[in-house]
A and B are shown apart, each in its own frame.
Chain A
Amino acid sequence: MDRRAKLIEIIQKVSKQDAVPGADESLFESGLLDSFGLPDLISALEKEFGIQVPDSDLNPRKFDTLERIEEYLDSRN
Chain B
Amino acid sequence: MAFIKEFGCWLPIRAVTSEEAGSWVGADSTWVKNVSGIEERRFATDEDMVADLAARAGNDCLERAGMQGKDLGMVMVASGSGERTFPGPACVAAQKMGASGVPALDLTMASAGSLFGISLAARLAAQLGPILVIGAEKMSRIVAREPQERGVAVLFGDGAGACLITADSGKAEIVDSVLNTDGSFSEDLTLECDRPIKMNGRSVILQASRKIPAAIRSLLEQYSIDPPDVLAFLMHQANQNLIDRVADALGVPSAKFFSNIRKYGNTSSASMLIAAAEWSREFGFEPGEPVIFAAFGAGFNWGALLARGV
Contacts and interface: CB of A to CB of B under 8 A. Distances in A.
Interface of A: 28, 35-36, 38-39, 42, 55-56, 58-60
A39 B245 contact: yes
Contact of B202 (A35, A55, A56): A35
Interface residues of B, number: 16
Interface in B72-127: none
B210 A55 contact: yes
Main secondary structure of the interface of A (DSSP, over half): helix
Given A55-B182, A56-B184, A38 B211 contact: no
Contacts of A36: 205, 209, 241-242, 245
Interface of B: 182, 184, 200-207, 209-211, 241-242, 245
Contacts of B209: 36, 39
Nearest to B202: A60
Given A35-B201, A36-B241, A60 B206 contact: yes
B182 A39 contact: no
23 contacts: A35-B201, A35-B202, A35-B205, A35-B206, A36-B205, A36-B242, A36-B245, A38-B202, A38-B205, A38-B206, A39-B206, A39-B245, A42-B206, A55-B182, A55-B210, A55-B211, A56-B184, A58-B203, A59-B203, A60-B200, A60-B202, A60-B203, A60-B206
